[in-house]
Amino acid sequence: MTKFIPFGRHNLLASLSLAIILSAATAANAATVIELTQTGCQFLESENGTDHMFKTTAFSDCEGINKSTGAKRLAASKVIRVAPGKYIFRVTNKNVPYELGFWVREKGYNWKNPMHLATKTSVSGGGLVTGKTQDYEVTLKPGEYVYSCPLNPTPDYRLVVAN
């Protein structure tokens, strides 16, 4: 004989408690979004919202621009400071007429060093055509990082991760 167990108050409370626990766990594991906007040779937010209005039609234009202005702009740039955790860098190509990308990596990372490939954090990708926004997900542990766009040569902006 099958025993009927009504969906009573205790079952309802248990179900609600489980839903709250699962929701909190999901929120705890959710990534924080950091939005960045690229214009010619720069990230706007990194340079305190200043759009230098650099005229660029190709990668090579930024090399010259950064040679003459990059060090000064980097010295005045905003350092992003965050706690360790999961992040999504949401990067937008705003009016740059060629494909861009994004690269965040631990300070001192060298892609030619096999040990760095296996032990250091590095996330990158391309495909950012004019007007497109793309997400780059990464888990950051305490330390210093840099981020840039190698396809739209920008300075290596600083990112500090600390508790």
Query: CA 97, CA 129: separation in Å to the nearest integer?
Result: 8
Instruction: Grade residue 24 by pLDDT with cuts at 50, 70 and 90.
Output: very low
Instruction: Grade residue 117 by pLDDT with cuts at 50, 70 and 90.
Output: confident
User: Who contacts 132 (Cβ-Cβ below 8 Å, separation ≥6)?
Assistant: 92, 93
**Quick one: pLDDT at residue 115?**
85
Q: Among 22-31, 85-94, 131-140, 147-156, whose mean pLDDT is lowest?
A: 22-31
* % of the chain residues with pLDDT over 90: 75
Tell me the pairing of strands 100-106 and 85-93.
unpaired
How many C-beta atoms lie closer than 10 Å to residue 91's C-beta? 24
pLDDT per position as a tens digit, 124-146: 999 999 999 999 999 999 999 99
Task: Please tell me the pTM assigned to this model.
Answer: 0.81
The CATH code belonging to domain 32-161 is 2.60.40.420
Query: CA 142, CA 162: separation in Å to the nearest integer?
Result: 5
- What are 142's two structure tokens? 């305490």
pLDDT for residue 44 is more than 60? yes
Query: CA 145, CA 139: separation in Å to the nearest integer?
Result: 12
Q: Parse the chain into domains and list their residue ranges.
A: 32-161
